[in-house]
Amino acid sequence: MTRKVCLAQNPEADELLADDMFALLLGMLLDQQIPLEKAFSGPKVLADRLGALSPQVIADADPEGFAAVMAAPPAVHRFPGSMAKRVQALAQAVVEEYGGDVSRMWADGDGAVVLKRLKALPGFGEQKARIFLALLGKQFGVQPDGWREAAGAYGEDGSRRSVADVVDQKSLLEVRAFKKAAKAAVKNG
């Protein structure tokens, strides 16, 4: 694959994200209450621990055993127990709704349809679904009609507001600065 991804800021983890759309989806799910580099490194950690990264394997895993995999040092997430449940629920949805192939979510339909499918996933609300749609459009060439509009402000060309805009270390720092300023505006507003 020639696509270059810099979300985990780790070459091996980023290579997995570039090549495996399920890994990318998992990274997006994990991207809450931890640094985005750790979130997007999580799929590589899981792949290493499980021997492969498969929606079916994760969906079928014993919940307690999978939680132990998530919690093994270093933990995949700050909240390994609750995130293990979310990761398994997401994997189960991918298997049940899309036959284990996440790309079927955006294989047809316009931006609004794809957004609706993403929002229906366990652990994906409005904002996370819009950010992921923007990530698909900006960095993965998944651009159904109306994707920018469906992604909202996250789809704006040249923005630096989310993971969808992280293409290197510099843009990561710009996204962090934007988020910090946005939080300060809310706090002081």
Tell whether 5 is covered by a domain: no
Show contacts of 83-86: CB within 8 Å, 24+ apart. Answer: 83/29, 83/30, 86/29, 86/122, 86/123
User: Looking at the domain assignment, is residue 176 inside a domain?
Assistant: no
Domain holding 39, by residue range, is 11-154
Which two structure tokens, joined as six digits, stand for 161?
């507001």
pLDDT in tens, the chain (189 residues): 457 999 999 999 999 999 999 999 999 999 999 999 999 999 999 999 999 999 999 999 999 999 999 999 999 999 999 999 999 999 999 999 999 999 999 999 999 999 999 999 999 999 999 999 999 999 999 999 999 999 999 999 999 999 999 999 999 999 999 988 888 888 887
Q: Are 122 and 93 a contacting pair, CB within 8 Å?
A: yes
Question: Is residue 4 assigned to a domain?
Answer: no
Question: Is 122 domain-assigned?
Answer: yes
Q: What is the CATH number of the domain that holds 46?
A: 1.10.340.30
Residue 60 lies in a domain: yes
Tokens of 105: 């979510």
> What's the structural domain count of the chain?
1
pTM of the model: 0.95
Residue 15 domain-assigned?
yes
Q: Roughly how many angstroms between the first and final C-alpha of the chain, as a whole number?
A: 45
